Structure 1
Amino acid sequence: MSAEEYKAEGNKHFAAKEFTKAVESFTKAIAASETPNHVLYSNRSGAYASLKNFKNALEDAEECVKINGSWAKGYNRVAAAHFGLGDLDDAKRNYERALELDANNAMAKEGLKSVENAINSRNAKPDMGLGAIFSDPNLITRLKNNPKTAEMMKDPALVQKVAKIQTNPGSMDPTEFMTDSRMMTIMAVIMGIDMDAPEPPHPDTYKDPAAAAAKVAAEEAAAAAEKKDAPVPKKEAEAKAESKADADPEDADPEDVVMEEAEEPVIDNKAEADAAKARGNDLYKKREFDSAIAAYNEAWEHHKDITYLNNRAAAEYEKGDYDEAIKTCEEAIQQGRELRADYKIVAKSFARAGNAYLKKEDLENAAKYFDKSLTEHRTPDVLNKLRATQREIKVREAQAYIDPEKAEQARLEGKEYFTKGDWPNAVKAYTEMIKRAPEDARGYSNRAAALAKLLSFPDAVQDCNKAIEKDPSFIRAYIRKANAQLAMREYSQVMETLNEAREKDLALGEGKNVSEIDGLFNKAASQRFSAIEGETPEQTMERVSRDPEIVSILQDPVMQGILGQAKENPAALQDHMKNPEVNKKINMLIAAGVIRTR
């Protein structure tokens, strides 16, 4: 048999209270496991504790946390074993460690409370335990609101007596305490004893009120047990230790794809539930989704573990029944809250609902559930889905906003503001035009013109680039870009932009913008190569001759040949300038003054 089969056998024995057999099965499972499995040691620890073999229970519990030190329930096992051995301080420390790892761990909370009560009893002072019993600062309010004590708490003298015990427990005379049966009733309420129990014994029977209350509690428990034909409970400390030790073994093995396993205690039908789940997994893999859903339903009926609901939702999702998958996830989330399920499993319920909403094209709800999943437990996969969904929402919102007619209205409005010199409102109007018609290059170009007026030249260049991207033949966008670059004194970039504009304009077969382009080019070149204040013509030529771009042109063998030929036959230069690349270089040399046209 495999380790998994031995483990299932052990779980079954444990559920049947056959603890010795459970130990044997878990021992075989540990031996058969290929790698150390913390859950198996935890389960065997629970079985040992149920047999009152707390020494072995402690050894297994410590091995469990050694294998997986981040598993809170392992520390519950260690604490329960220490509690059974009477090591209250060690038990307290380990329950606190469990709560550090999982603040919602109900078993650790209950165990810690029991240990602290036992420590308080151990450290009881000569106040006969009254200090601990009456320690609640809201005690009087609780007693006034409790239907069993509300009427008697209308007596100011009794209220004063309770307050006196709270303030100074040692000041109360035991004889005086015993003579007031109402105080015994109050103690019974504080200690959680059924008020329908027989009357408290005569005060002379016991020497102190704490013992009297304990006796009342024991008699009440015995009466309740007789009603159920059950044996009378054991001593309080032993029963508490046993209740913690007998917590059913956890079963938390990872599986593939969508099939998770919960780290929850097994109950009477856990083994049957796991068997049904296993059948559901096989059917799921065979894509027999209806049968898989029936198997997961059976598992849920046997044992309330929301993992089964998550698996059922996965089958419904694959089946294409997204509404039903969402409904199942909602049920899993609700049940998970009530059962205090692991937050990671609840996170999967939210994520699976998000996936179903995504399939339904309900992006808003998909994003909402992905976000809730991340609140429970943050994973990269769900985070990426959330971000992708949010991006798609923005894209669809932008698409829904597109309206050519309103875009034209915004363009005319922007033109009117621009004519009036109201540049901020012109930018605002052109921005609206872009939103309404994002593929219209004019919106970006017009906004660039308004931004340039506001001296926001980098933004203007960016808008011009966007306009050119939308329409590479939009020559006006090139010219506006060059003007913005010129304002920033980026002369090299200006000339590059204008050369590109000239080529595009000629390629269109019109060339109607060439004159404007050349004029702007010469302006840029003049500013680039013009004399600096205080600089002689010779110094200007020296500086220009060192310009990297000029040096590169003059060192080009082809250009050297053309320039040599032009010296003997100037008319030949015109023929060479028909080549766009040569034309660009010749114009650069003319602008720099290397070639003089006159």
Structure 2
Amino acid sequence: MTTADEYKAEGNKYFAAKEFEKAIESFTKAIEASPQPNHVLYSNRSGSYASLKEYDQALKDAQECIKINPSWAKGYNRVGGAQFGLGNLEDAQKAYEECLSLDANNAQAKEGLKSVENSIKARNSSGDMGLGAIFRDPNLITKLKSNPKTSELMKDPDLVAKVLNIQANPQTNATQLLSDPRLMTIMATLMGIDMDFSAEGGEPSSKTEDDASKPEEKVETEKKEEPKPTEETKSETKPAAEGKKVDSEGDVEMKDAPQGDKEAADKAKAEGNTLYKQRKFDEAIAAYDKAWELHKDITYLNNRAAAEYEKGDYDAAVATCDKAVDEGRDMRADYKLIAKSFARLGNIYLKKDDLEQAVKYFDKSLTEHRTPDVLNKLRSTQREIKSREAQAYVNPEKAEEARLEGKEYFTKGDWPNAVKAYGEMIKRAPEDPRGYSNRAAALVKLLSYPDAVRDCDTAIEKDPDFIRAYIRKANAQLMMKEYSHCMETLNEAREKDSKLGGKNLHEIDQLFGRASTQRFQAIDGETPEQTMERVSKDPEIVQILQDPVMQGILSQARDNPAALQDHMKNPEVAKKVNMLVAAGVIRTR
């Protein structure tokens, strides 16, 4: 059963990918699955609704959030954001002030309050609520259509007309802002106010800087490829997202990171990225070092580790990643950045063929932040470890000892120990079909027929000409009264054995006779006529009798029985004739 925490993590993932409808669906499931009301879940869903500009729903969830936990400061941030989106500036102001009364250092509330106060001031500065200055630009419509935040909204002709009306007569049409939340979005965009809100529980804001040229660690292959830009976590545009920590509620608290010359640091990083792409790794490392000295952001350390990795200096890359983790912990950096450091450590150890260490650090990365790529690497590395362990265990001599031990137990009738011994043989010689076939024989004695069939299938897969495996499989199927499957297995065995000299044909035919007799034998109290009528309705028999080719062969055999022997040389015809004989449709003297 999926838990509330799992639905919450799923919602956070969708929020980070800007799939807000799916995020809402996941958070709704989390709310339903939660054993008791959880204020963080309502906060997360409120943020998702706000990102879709559905401020009415965002406000309802925000109010439910603070109803559940009135002392949780961030809930009031949600209320403030939703009220601001609805154009209720005074209510938004009260919500942000309430947040600050509970948490005086809440950077998001400080910024929100500042934006609201600026809006109130602009509105009250003139009779037109300050719209004249905001909507003055003659290229306003063109700019709104090209702005990614408003381009979709401007596809509505009615909304465009409203914007033009406000632009033409802001004092008369100012009240339209209160009746259409879309106009508030447009106004906020023109004022440079961020109306997006991040999901709680560790997911970043959907608004990030454009940072496309970041070093990317390559997938671990022997083939050398051109380095690709990395997917380091992008810097938040809002001061509140410079650093984070997780509180006891599972939500993200914001903490200011060490300040420095961020602009110069990013410039140095960009230089490093260019050098990285040119495979000038020493120069790239120097540029990243410069960025780090200018501004303490572990993204620069992660990038330096990527360059050291590509250079082949794995020990240096390990030391840099360790430093990134330590520094990141001290400054409470975004957990995604620390996850990147751990993932890169995993890749380094994978390259060094230290699989145990690689698993350790991939697992640490997933503990910080779960991503499909790292999860796949973890599972792939774990599979490789198991494969190597199995290969290291292979020993033909030990396998033969286990086979003889199993044979001894089988002869004594000690079936459980026989199964155990043959299992050891399989581990020691996984490509030898005899181990699977012998274990199947012991499993039949223990009445474990499905397991016996599976072992026989594996033996046949290892050696398609291993007739004993077919016979043992057919025996197990006969015990399960799977007569049709049993006869199919025997027909396949007969065809294989005929090509190999026919040493097992007598045993195969005997077993086939038993299977066909049991399949078509009379049921207690059934007359011969009733038996024949029932058999004639068997789907396989009906299909054979309706086959035009078989009809021609049977018609010819009535006049010339010897001709049937010539047709029996065809394996398919022989199979169908044997089936009719077993069913009693064809009688032999």
TM over 0.5: yes
Which amino acid letter does the alignment assign opposite residue 534 of structure 2?
A: R
Measure how far apart 1:269 and its partner are.
Answer: 2.9
Q: Distance in 2 between matches of 1:66 and 1:534?
A: 75
1:123 corresponding residue in structure 2: none
Which amino acid letter does the alignment assign opposite residue 441 of structure 1?
A: P
1:548 corresponding residue in structure 2: 539
Measure how far apart 1:370 and its partner are.
Answer: 0.8
Q: Distance in 1 between matches of 2:208 and 2:556?
A: 92
Choose from 376, 398, 412 the match for 2:390.
398
1:457 corresponding residue in structure 2: 449
2:193 corresponding residue in structure 1: none
1:271 corresponding residue in structure 2: 263
1:359 corresponding residue in structure 2: 351
Q: Distance in 2 between matches of 1:66 and 1:494?
A: 62
Q: Distance in 1 between matches of 2:283 and 2:107?
A: 40
Choose from 206, 212, 220 the match for 1:255.
212
Measure how far apart 1:275 and its partner are.
Answer: 2.0
1:446 corresponding residue in structure 2: 438
Q: Any idea what the Cα deviations from partners look like across 1:89-143, whole Å, max 9, x if unmatched? A: 74451586xx9xxxxxx9549999xxxxxxxxxxxxxxxxxxxxxxxxxxxxxxx
2:511 corresponding residue in structure 1: 520
Q: How does 1:222-241 map to 2 (within 5 A)?
A: none
Which amino acid letter does the alignment assign opposite residue 523 of structure 1?
A: R
Measure how far apart 1:388 and its partner are.
Answer: 1.4
Count of aligned pairs between the two proteins: 380
Q: Distance in 2 between matches of 1:294 and 1:555?
A: 82
Q: Distance in 1 between matches of 2:571 and 2:261?
A: 86
1:206 corresponding residue in structure 2: none
1:311 corresponding residue in structure 2: 303
Q: 8 Å contact 2:77–2:108 — kept in the other structure?
A: no
Measure how far apart 1:262 and its partner are.
Answer: 4.0
2:290 corresponding residue in structure 1: 298
Alignment CA distance shift 1:445-1:67 (3 Å): closer
Measure how far apart 1:261 and its partner are.
Answer: 4.1
Q: Any idea what the Cα deviations from partners look like across 1:280-333, whole Å, max 9, x if unmatched? A: 111112111110001111111222211110000011112222222121111100
2:377 corresponding residue in structure 1: 385
1:93 corresponding residue in structure 2: 99
1:52 corresponding residue in structure 2: none
For 2:586, what is the secondary structure of its paired residue? coil
Q: Distance in 2 between matches of 1:398 and 1:582?
A: 45
Q: Any idea what the Cα deviations from partners look like across 1:53-73, whole Å, max 9, x if unmatched? A: xxxxxxxxx9xx989999x9x
Q: Distance in 2 between matches of 1:449 and 1:592?
A: 29
Structure 2 stretches lacking a partner, 5+ long: 1-46, 63-73, 82-92, 111-206, 214-228, 237-241, 243-256
Q: 8 Å contact 1:448–1:464 — kept in the other structure?
A: yes
Q: How does 1:84-123 map to 2 (within 5 A)?
A: 90-93=96-99, 108=106
Range with greater deviation from structure 2 (418-427 or 554-563)? 554-563
For 1:533, what is the secondary structure of its paired residue? coil
Measure how far apart 1:75 and its partner are.
Answer: 6.1
1:582 corresponding residue in structure 2: 573
1:286 corresponding residue in structure 2: 278
Which amino acid letter does the alignment assign opposite residue 545 of structure 1?
A: S
Taking structure 1 as the reference length, what is the TM-score of the superposition? 0.59
Q: 8 Å contact 1:262–1:345 — kept in the other structure?
A: no
Alignment CA distance shift 1:567-1:561 (3 Å): same
Measure how far apart 1:268 and its partner are.
Answer: 3.9
Q: Distance in 2 between matches of 1:399 and 1:277?
A: 46
2:362 equivalent to 1:370: yes
Q: Distance in 1 between matches of 2:559 and 2:97?
A: 106
Choose from 461, 466, 475 the match for 1:474.
466
Choose from 553, 563, 567 the match for 1:562.
553
1:103 corresponding residue in structure 2: none
Q: Distance in 1 between matches of 2:326 and 2:211?
A: 23
Q: Distance in 1 between matches of 2:516 and 2:268?
A: 83
For 1:446, what is the secondary structure of its paired residue? helix
Q: 8 Å contact 1:75–1:95 — kept in the other structure?
A: no
Q: How does 1:165-184 map to 2 (within 5 A)?
A: none
Q: Distance in 2 between matches of 1:306 and 1:253?
A: 18
1:571 corresponding residue in structure 2: 562
1:497 corresponding residue in structure 2: 489
2:499 corresponding residue in structure 1: 507
Choose from 402, 408, 412 the match for 1:410.
402
Which amino acid letter does the alignment assign opposite residue 332 of structure 2?
A: R
Q: Distance in 1 between matches of 2:208 and 2:374?
A: 26
Tell me the percent identity. Answer: 70
Which amino acid letter does the alignment assign opposite residue 99 of structure 2?
A: R
Q: Distance in 1 between matches of 2:540 and 2:437?
A: 30
Q: Distance in 2 between matches of 1:572 and 1:515?
A: 24
Q: Any idea what the Cα deviations from partners look like across 1:249-280, whole Å, max 9, x if unmatched? A: x9955434325444435734333322211211
Alignment CA distance shift 1:268-1:579 (3 Å): closer
Q: 8 Å contact 2:77–2:96 — kept in the other structure?
A: no
Q: Distance in 1 between matches of 2:472 and 2:289?
A: 69
Alignment CA distance shift 1:66-1:549 (3 Å): closer
Alignment CA distance shift 1:334-1:111 (3 Å): farther
1:485 corresponding residue in structure 2: 477
1:122 corresponding residue in structure 2: none
Q: Distance in 2 between matches of 1:372 and 1:469?
A: 39
Alignment CA distance shift 1:268-1:590 (3 Å): closer
Q: Distance in 1 between matches of 2:261 and 2:324?
A: 19
Q: Distance in 1 between matches of 2:512 and 2:326?
A: 72
1:332 corresponding residue in structure 2: 324
